[in-house]
Chains A and B, each alone.
Chain A
């Protein structure tokens, strides 16, 4: 049974091309994916991300629980509203999901996890939470709209009450505040500034329409994918999964090996690090025409790798990708595109920052 967000009819009325995404009927684009991509890079666009799962964690030992559950350290969260990106690992160090956790009060943290992994995530979190007496509540009563782009914040702030506006205008990146009944976080998945707004389901359509009136353009999952790839952000299921550790997925920066913290998967991660990590995630740019796609073979002097997330970058005008390759592969490699070996360059990513391609793209 395909699920629908409360904005489903709104998307259809806007002429969206709908696709199944993780069991949800979601807008792929509203006409042109590339135009939607450029609007987010240059102005402001919005995405219905209500398919994502909001989970509230309550209990006196919630921080202690999250120290155990997550590979990144919630001890970095000192001020109420502060957010942290982390992987949630299994005992083998494989990634069950990636998520954002918000610290609200010592007995209340909020987690946002992926839609496609909802069932296993909830089961895992609930199982682990028992020992800490933490109550796990899925917030199916909430929707979420991501407003992204250089003018996104300005357009959102214009819709808020004076009181909420004053609060939301002040927050730094990766911080959330509540105001006007909304949970407003300065986070996103596009590499642009903006807000992710968690809104009661009953008010989501009205908020969406007010954002439209304020000049925010609807954008679909297609643009969301090219934007996040340009921004160098991983996609769960494509760039990492339960058999891939963060070391192998370009996510070493999210692992906190702080002393004495016994998080799930730590022993496996430390062993792999000591033994040497044999595969690594690299960014690729292709100067030839064509498009790198998930599953294509990558030929390197040290052996074969494969394309993970791949696609066309509208900002750069070339194809870009993440690939998992044998450790040490550098310089120019080759991608097997329908039987033809095409040169691809290993580059540092993000590929795009502040709306512009980085040097060397």
Chain B
């Protein structure tokens, strides 16, 4: 299991979010999520300029096993997507917390929505409890 960087926050549905210095939020799925899904074969990205609502599906990751929606942890505007993923979806398997990022949101009300998310310790507790 890949070590969880301390600056990440998590949704219960296994997305991670990192607030960047410039105030945007980078979003991906956790290493635990990729390991549950197995080899990824397809990623459907949102479009830059799309508006997203916190808790709504805005991307799809599909593995050899199943298709899974990716929810946005924050509301705002999509300002970047990881264009490398459609050709190399396995990047998420290899580096879920780094090169495997999926999209970036310019958030509307960051402070409030980030409070809803789990810190790494609470997230680890969640996945451990799911396993038992």
Q: Are A289 and B64 in contact (CB under 8 A)?
A: no
Q: Are A311 and B44 in contact (CB under 8 A)?
A: no
Whole-angstrom CA separation of A239 from B34 in the bound complex? 29
Whole-angstrom CA separation of A28 from B35 in the bound complex? 12
Chain A nearest CB, measured from B30 CB (Å): 16
Q: Are B39 and A32 in contact (CB under 8 A)?
A: yes
Whole-angstrom CA separation of A34 from B90 in the bound complex? 10
Whole-angstrom CA separation of A311 from B38 in the bound complex? 13
Number of interface residues of A (CB under 8 A): 15
- Choose one: A17, A29, A222, A289; the contact of B44 (CB below 8 Å): A289
Q: Does A82 contact B (CB under 8 A)?
A: no
Chain A binding site: helix, strand, loop or mixed by DSSP? mixed
Q: Are B67 and A226 in contact (CB under 8 A)?
A: no
Chain B binding site: helix, strand, loop or mixed by DSSP? mixed
Which of A205-227 touch B at CB < 8 Å? 222, 226
Query: Considering only CB atoms, which chain B residue lies closest to A291 in the complex?
Result: B62
Whole-angstrom CA separation of A291 from B62 in the bound complex? 7
Specify which chain A residues have a CB less than 8 angstroms from the CB of B60 in the assembled complex: 338
Which of A9-37 touch B at CB < 8 Å? 17, 28-29, 32-34
Number of interface residues of B (CB under 8 A): 15
Q: Are B38 and A289 in contact (CB under 8 A)?
A: no
Q: Are A33 and B64 in contact (CB under 8 A)?
A: yes
Which of B25-84 touch A at CB < 8 Å? 35, 38-39, 41-42, 44, 60, 62, 64-67
Whole-angstrom CA separation of A202 from B40 in the bound complex? 38
Specify which chain B residues have a CB less than 8 angstroms from the CB of A289 in the assembled complex: 42, 44, 86
Q: Does A290 contact B (CB under 8 A)?
A: yes
Whole-angstrom CA separation of A28 from B60 in the bound complex? 23
Query: Considering only CB atoms, which chain A residue lies closest to B89 in the complex?
Result: A289
Question: Beta-carbon contacts of A261-292 to B below 8 Å, as 1s and 0s?
Answer: 00000000000000000000000000001110
Chain B nearest CB, measured from A206 CB (Å): 30
- Choose one: B62, B64, B67; the contact of A222 (CB below 8 Å): B64
Q: List 12 A-B contacts (CB under 8 A).
A: A17-B38, A29-B38, A33-B39, A34-B39, A34-B64, A222-B38, A222-B64, A222-B65, A226-B64, A289-B86, A291-B62, A293-B67
